[in-house]
Structure 1
Amino acid sequence: MSRRFAKLPINCVLLPIWTLCLKLLPASWASAWGFDIQCWSWGLKQGHSLLMPRMDRVAAQGRYYNKMEQPKKFHWFDLRRWSFAARLTLVMSLLILATLVGTLFITIGIVQTRLTNQIGESFQAQSENFSGLVGVFFREKVTQLQVLMGSDIIRDALVDRNSGYAGSEAQIQTQIQALNESWQLAAEDEPLVVRTLSTDETVNPVGHILADFLLKFPEYNEVFVTDRYGATVAATGRLSDYYHADEAWWRAAWNDGQGAVYISEPQFDESAGVDALLLALPIYDHEGEVVGVLRTTLDVDNLFAVISNLEIGQTGHAVLFNSAGEILYDSSAEAGKEGSAELPAELRQTFVSPTPGFTIAEDTDGDTSIFGYSPVHSFEEEKFEESASEAEHDQAGAVQDSAVNQVAAAVNNLGWATVVRQETYEAFSSVDQVVQASVIVGVVAMILAGLIALFLAQTLTRPLVRLGAAAERIGQGMLDTPLPPAGDDEIGRLSHSFRSMVSELRSLFDSLEQRVASRTRRLEIIAHLSEHLNAILNLDELLAEVVNQVRDSFGYYHAHIYLLDHQGEKLVVAEGTGPAGAEMKAKGHAIRLDAPTSLVARAARTGEIIRVDNVREAKDWLPNPLLPNTYSEMAVPIILEGQVVGVLDVQQDRVAGLDEGDENLLRSLANQVAVEIRNARQFAEVQANLREAREIQQRYIESAWDRSKVTRKNVGRVRFSLGESTTLDEGIIAEAQHQAWRYKKPALVALGDQQDHHTLVAPILLRNVVIGDLQLHEIDPGREWTESEIALISAVIDQVAQAAETLRLLDETQERASREQLVSQISNKMRRAPDLDSLLKVAVTELARVLNPARTFVHMDLKERQEPDEMKYEISGGNGSEQPLESEVVTG
């Protein structure tokens, strides 16, 4: 039933109550408040639009009644003349309503306030826990590095390096600066570079320990150690500088010889080439003096992984801010969702305050969220992670009592803040549920109170109740329900008004049912047609099904579909119904897009539906002799992704045979057809690409599977037979091979002139390409082969094909690797040549050694004259002009 009719029971119940209250009010109240009998007519008209025509007449009756002379003995000021049921119902209803509403508002306010504070404190606690996790992360990493620095080998190496310098502080700095310049220009095989980067325990024991540390903890990108002057002692990779005492991280970790833990902001590390955190720690000797600095590069993704693991519902996520209020990491933005980049600057400054808390605020898009924030901290009373065992602490004797304080100071100095954010509609869903439950309870309580009041007053309001019951049944669609007899009082006149209203509703409802039934049938046809079209992927079949179903289902005279050609200049008939459609399709009937007299062309140009009720009177109608009975026409553009790809044209054999219902119907169908056309074209394209890929793959296998690469012993054929087998004639083998390639599956064949010579042949297939065959000769012709035996043979030859392909690929890989290795060896020798003559000699010698030719020549044009003893040159002189120089080395 329509939603408009669903409102009738409410209006039918409220109308009598409204009328009764107006009649029971004193005249002075009605005059003071502007009440009039017209009010209930106005309320009924506002209650439902279906009653508007009737309300005009009801209002006129109300105005007439208002002008009637009232009996003098009826005094409105005498409250004793009020209906007891009205007074009782009114007093109880107002009292209960006021009590429940007041209680409900107070309760909801208190509950909302408390739950909001509890949720905010929960978010604050989560942000504090999250901050603690970040602090624990840094303490864990520093602990790992401190255990590494506790190695006696590292401390002793630093002590030896520091004591090995001679001269004053300035002289030592000058020496290190010279080494730094040499380091920046040195090649990889320079002794300084080799000694510093070596991981050989005998060459650089510190480098060996650092390399072993990276193997155990892959989250670190690099680790290196400097002495007390900033010079590099050992490193796990080539550094951009050898001297580091001029860098901020080194000075912070050195701390004027006192030592301190340094943690950087996320930045691009030049040495490691990644976005990372720089961690620098002082290295102490046994007396507690700083003898060097260890620095490592920690991939920032390891820190962000701690943040990304925090999930709060559907919209909740965590954000990490630096001390300037800039976002360091936003887990929601990394997941492809809307992040926190658009938060106001004032709100961000609130997050980085030293005091944790929570707030509810809006971003620049107007979305409201709850934020719990807390500074990243590391309390000094917290202990190191249990992962550092007691034995490791004993080994790391340089771990001082102040290590925890140094870590805490480094983390706290970062000034970072963690924020836990969630949309308010999700965060306060529990509050909403409580409010909704309270409202429901209050509404239920008011309904129960109203029912009680009605029950108490039912004896006095029985006529009104009967009229209300009748009105309720009418609202449910039972328009034949009898109404109570109409009297001379207000209820009687109301009953008379209802009779008039029901009569009009009955006629309106009948016509509406017919329209709804017709529209429902069309929607069912569209749904069935769409479901049927989804299964058709051939474009021609799809278009034929569309036009035939449209014509047959909706009774149109004719229907056809035009598609835009590739040049976008013509609309070509792709499919049509009946003989006319077949003939137009066969002749390639087309209409130019710029045709002035064509409804189809106009629809394609404008992208709008063109409907003409009488085409005989339209100036831009193009008549078709194949369709002489066309009187009305509708052209519906088929639009795909904003572009017109075709036109669905339907015609009717009567004037005004197409209406707005057909327009809405065909618009929906055209949209569905557009999608199906795209699907069909994409399916055809995918099928064509698939066929092309298969052909390319087959050609690749045929060209790549060179059996001579699998074995060099029997070029052209690889064959193996049992040692005790008799020798077979090559012709028999060739004939069996031919039969195997012919059948493409295991088969029993007779070979040669002897029909008793049976052979089981089976091709060896690799992706449908025959690369060999299997032959079982002198088989008993009466033997019955079981399915399991055939399956065994098929499985064996499949494994042979796969293994052969593996061997071929392995052989190609080894050959390519050998070639690359040979080229690398020759290149290395050529790079070590001190001059051009040596370079040419190395090139000629190596090529001659590898290729073994009779003679080898190298010709080059030189700008300068060089005459080594072992080379021969031909140089023309006298006039100072330079001629091409020829260097010759003869080998073999």
Structure 2
Amino acid sequence: MVTTLERQQVDDVLERQTNNVFKFGLLLTIVSTLVVIVTMAFQYATGKNHYPWVTAVGVVGGVIGMILARAKRPFFATMVMVISLFMIAAFYVLFIESLGTLMTIILLVISLGIIAQTVPQGRIGWSMAVFIVLGFILILVDRFLPREKTSLPSHSETIIVVAAIVTILAIAIIVFRQFSTFSLREKLISATLAVAIIAVLALAVGVNILTKNAITNEVGSNLRILSESQSLAIGEFLARKINTLEALSTNTIIIETAQAKNASYDNADASPSEQIAQVAAQWPQMTVDDDFVKDILEGDVAVELEQYQTLFPENTQLIVTDKYGGQIGATQHTQDYYKGDEAWWQSTYVKGFGQVYITPPTYNSENDTYSITIGVPIHGKKADKSGEIVGILKAEVSLNALSDLLFNARFGETGHIEIFLAGDRHLIVDDKGEISITDSPLNADAIAYIKTPEEPFIITDFDRTSQFLSSAFVNTLTHEPAVDRLGWIILGRQQSDEILAPVEQQQNINTILGFIAIVSAGVVAAYMGQRISQPISNLTHVALEVAEGNLDVQAPIETQDEIGILASSFNEMTGQLRESILTLEQRVQNRTQALATTVNVGQQLSTILDEEELITAVVNQVRESFDYYQVQIYLLDEDQETLILSAGTGQASKQMIADGHKLQIGQGLIGQAAATNIAAIVSDTTKAADWLPNPLSPDTKSETAVPIAIGDEILGVLDVQHNMVNGLKQEDADLLRSVANQVAVSLRNARLYKKTQQQAQREALLRNINEKITSTTNMETAMKVAVRELGSALGTKQTIVRLKQNHKNKGKNTPLT
């Protein structure tokens, strides 16, 4: 039978739920209407579809919810609003790029908040379960069933996300303001869900950000390292070509032939340029059968070039000219005889100064390859004007080997190594290993980064895709000037999608795990609300009884979880409190007895004035009074550096004393106590790494060393050992410190007494000798008495006193025996 109070409680709950439904419907209507208005304004301004009608579903749901709330139908009102929210989430999952999962999670949180505050307890469990499962299905569809979707303009994305977050905050405020009216079960459910959602979202976002940053930095750094290594490899590739060509330029036959050709121009009436021009004019009509052409293609220089080409076949063409540009040797018949007007020749000759020159890559249609031209000056021997330039060596070098180098450096599915050339052009090796040179697809910012890289890498658009990009200038170990002047830049790039694929996978896993965690938290919160609230109520009742003084009451242990542990601990606490009260008097009595024993020891010690008897009595009385395993006293020697075992209990101590056992200051536990003037304690010797064991005391399990000191003056150490682990504690050390202080005073008194007694004996002896001397009548008798008494006092067999005369027997001593 329902009581009036219970009926009133039901009516209050229904009224609160109805009011909450109306508030949530009004909130949903207002927020959705604002989003519709703003998105329509953006759509009108930009001409792009912002899908305002989707959010209008929320307006409809909110209005219907308010109408049903006024009709006292809170459950149906809640269902309408939540279904409208899930219709919006389904649209984003199916048709909008990158917002499906986020909007599903946000709208699910909003839905659960509405359900928790508006649905009766009998329906709240299955209502939450249905929509949680529905949300999970939407997330799985979004994450694992990819499909063509439309990108929402960024303005609308921001507005929708902000509006959803504002809605969550508004619901949280409503819940927080009503939190005090919730039952304990509702508080547990709300708090558990809130903590679970916040923790999952924070963890998912945090892990995603940390993982993305870690992968980004690691891949970017590796990309920079790869770019630098490839820049060095390509630089060394070019440097090797230069070195081999420079070695060829020192060939004696080539040098002498060039010198002879240069000298031949001086024997004619025409100038060298006129002579070369004549030959150049006739060259197109010459064939390979002409002697002049044969001499160039088959002469000694040509033979040397062909031998070099055999060793290094990547050199597709080799030409040697004299210092005026006329050919003197070649591996192929060229279209022009005169090379002095070509850019590579002039850049190599440099008006007689000479330098190695490398041209940009060019396409050779004859052999369908890309190549570079390397010009190397030929210097004469020192006998010929100290190495004057006598000719120029030209080599066309195929870049097939370079393409192999770039192709083999590819990594992953989209990772490439390319060369950024002068004029913002790219040398690229495709999937087939073929070279092509194209205009740079990079934007202006990326090109600026490549030319002055301040960061290890950047993320930029490359050929309409987001890619990681790193660069490094081509260089050599020896800083070859010709290579450095090229200005080539190595580019390492890889698509962001491939690099961040692990982050995407991790995000999918985190989404599933997070959703499972939230679902589990909801289920557990709903189930445990009742399980936890009742035991807590019982425990509260027991606590109140204990507070009133009833220590015999026991809390019922209904579960084996934390609540059960809490009840058990509470019972233990009340039992300990009961035991503490009962045993307090006994513990006070024991403490008083220990203090009395300490005082008794001090009183007995104060009557002993012999040092050896004193320390022997101390160790025996301490051993008997406190039932310790072994008690010893170490005294500091006169040099204040060594502690000597002077007294102890048991056979082991006697053996150690007989062996002259001693310790240095700072050595072991005892030496540490003497060095610091602080009591040292080891409760468990088996776990103390710096504890020094003694084979004569094998049963020692705990030990404390207490300094015997007066102020800062150390007299010795009182060492106590126990045969039980934790047998000695700090309170024992404190009691022994008071004993040690009394021992120090007694020991000082004994030493002062002994010193005073010795002083009195010396003074009595001196008075006796003085009386006997003063009783004599002459000097000789007095001296004899003095000698006799001193000998007797000192225990010597013979005593001699020598008198020194200052007059007639000056310098002589007269002995008196």
TM-score range, shorter chain: 0.3 to 0.5
Q: Which structure has the larger Rg over C-alpha atoms?
A: 2
More helix by share: 2
TM-score normalized with structure 2 length: 0.43
TM-score normalized with structure 1 length: 0.39
